[in-house]
């Protein structure tokens, strides 16, 4: 197995272009587990740990541009204001050691339906910046990024450079159910983001379908019927929960049954919308 160790982004893109079969490794929290258990033996590993650019975040064109290598710990400590949904999800990842190593870029690269960062990225209309040496930059909306279980829109010669998320203009929440309180893959998860300026609510479902996905019909329901000045209508809240649950297409596995997941998605949808709505009204009143 070759171990490629670029020190700049250009070198990394060149290495990936020359060796498209190379598996990128950032924090190693997914890739190393697969190697340890001999799930795969790539011909080459492309270590991005030396590429400093990936570990920085900044504001670009009104978006928060989060480098693919920014660890969860940094997101929690520095981005809780602009990206509250993503920061909340980051807090639930693994353990302190894993949060120090793991990154959103890695989560996107692995494209597991259970990845914790996907639901808040979907709810907040994130865009993934990918790049190849020969074809340049592509901006892929998160909604178009996830193609199947552990499959993404990333081409073999491309690397994930960053994820772009507009700073929150309204409350955002993330909720997750697990079989224990930490160090566990989600049974299912849900994220919500209010976009008051557009009179719109974004959603994201995790571990509830072959890919992370949005509950479009539920979002459309709110866009149509939500009165942004008034308390939440309980009937509307219930229908929102039902449509979110209906958007799920889960499986039975060792962590939970499909029926449980559908139920829990509905609960988390109602719960996170209620939390967000209380904040929204509170903020308006303040």
Partner 1 sequence: MTTKYAETEPRQDAVKHVGRPVDRVDGRAKTTGEARYAAEHRYPGMAHAALVHATVARGRIEAVDTEAARAVPGVIEVLTHENAPAMKPAPKTSLMNLSSLASGTTVSYLATDEVHWNGQPVAVVVAETPETARHAASLVRVAYRELPAVVDFAAEEPNASPQKSSVLQPAGGDKGDAVAALAAAPVSVDLRFTTPPEHHNAMEPHATIAVWDGDRLTVHEGTQNIAWLRAHLAQRFGIPERAVRVLSPYVGGGFGGKGFVWAGTLLAVLAARATARPVRLALTREGVYRTVGGRTPTVQRVALGADGDGDLTALIHTSVAMTARIGGMPEGVVSSSRHLYDAATIHLRQRLVRLDLLANTAMRAPGDSVGSFALESAMDELACELGIDPIELRRRNEPERNPMDGKRFTHRMLREAYEVGAERFGWRERDPRPGSMRDGRWLVGMGVATAYHPSLTMPADVTVRLAADGAVVVRCALQEIGVGAATVQAQITADELGVPLEAVRVEIGDSELPAGPGAGGSAQTAGAAAGVLDACRKLKESALALARRAPDSPLRGRRLDDLEARDGGLYHGGRGETYAAILARAGRDHLEAGGGTGMLKFLAKTLNERRRWVKAASGAHFCEVRVDRDTGEVRVSRWLGMFDVGRVINAKTAAGQLRGGIVMGIGMALTEATQVDPRTGRIMNPSLSEYHVPVHADIPRIDVHWLDEPDPTMPLGLLGIGEVGITGVAAAVANAVRHATGKRVLDLPITLDKLL
Q: Which residues here bind partner 1, judged by CB under 8 A?
A: 33, 37-38, 95, 177, 179-185, 187, 254, 256-257, 259-260, 263-264, 267-268, 271
**H or E element at residue 204:** strand 200-206
Beta carbons within 8 Å of 66's beta carbon, 6+ residues apart: 57, 75, 79, 83, 104, 162, 163, 164, 165
Smallest gap from residue 41 Cβ to partner 1 (A): 9
φ, ψ (nearest 5 deg) of residue 12: -65, -45
17/258 with CB nearer partner 1: 258
Residue whose entry in the numeric block shows the structure tokens 């979002």: 219
**DSSP state, 71?**
B
Smallest gap from residue 268 Cβ to partner 1 (A): 8
81/96 with CB nearer partner 1: 96
Residue whose entry in the numeric block shows the structure tokens 């309204």: 170
Q: Are 227 and 233 in contact (CB under 8 A)?
A: yes
Smallest gap from residue 145 Cβ to partner 1 (A): 25
The CA distances from residue 127 to 1, 141, 164, 269, in Å, are: 33, 4, 5, 23
Smallest gap from residue 238 Cβ to partner 1 (A): 13
150/200 with CB nearer partner 1: 150
- To 5 degrees, how large is the angle CA 11–CA 29–CA 93? 120
14/44 with CB nearer partner 1: 44
230/254 with CB nearer partner 1: 254
2/18 with CB nearer partner 1: 2
The SS3 of residue 243 is: helix
Smallest gap from residue 4 Cβ to partner 1 (A): 20
| Burial (CB count <10 Å: 0-12, 13-18, 19+), residue 44 | middle
117/189 with CB nearer partner 1: 189
Smallest gap from residue 144 Cβ to partner 1 (A): 30
Smallest gap from residue 158 Cβ to partner 1 (A): 29
**DSSP state, 231?**
P
């Amino acid at each position: 197995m070759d171990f490629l160790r670029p020190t700049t982004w250009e070198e990394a893109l060149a290495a990936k272009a020359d060796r498209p079969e190379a598996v990128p490794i950032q924090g190693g929290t997914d890739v190393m587990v697969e190697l340890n258990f001999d799930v795969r033996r790539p011909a080459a590993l492309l270590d991005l740990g030396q590429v400093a650019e990936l570990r920085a975040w900044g504001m670009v064109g009104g978006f928060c541009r989060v480098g693919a290598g920014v660890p969860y710990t940094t997101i929690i400590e520095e981005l809780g204001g602009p990206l509250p949904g993503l920061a909340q999800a980051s807090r639930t990842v693994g353990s302190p050691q894993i949060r120090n190593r793991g990154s959103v870029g890695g989560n996107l690269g692995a494209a597991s339906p259970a990845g914790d960062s996907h639901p808040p990225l979907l709810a907040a209309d994130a865009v993934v910046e990918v790049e190849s040496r020969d074809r340049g930059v592509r901006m892929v909306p998160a909604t178009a990024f996830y193609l199947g279980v552990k499959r993404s829109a990333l081409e073999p010669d491309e690397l994930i450079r960053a994820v772009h998320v507009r700073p929150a203009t309204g409350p955002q929440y993330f909720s997750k159910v697990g079989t224990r309180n930490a160090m566990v893959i989600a049974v299912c998860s849900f994220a919500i983001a209010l976009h008051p300026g557009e009179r719109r609510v974004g959603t994201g479902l995790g571990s509830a379908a072959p890919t992370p996905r949005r509950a479009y019909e539920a979002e459309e329901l709110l866009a149509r019927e939500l009165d942004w000045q008034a308390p939440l209508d309980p009937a509307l809240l219930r229908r929102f929960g039902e449509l979110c649950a209906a958007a799920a297409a889960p499986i039975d596995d060792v962590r939970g049954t499909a029926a449980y997941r559908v139920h829990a998605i509905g609960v988390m949808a109602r719960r996170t919308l209620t939390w967000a709505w209380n904040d929204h009204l509170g903020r308006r009143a303040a």
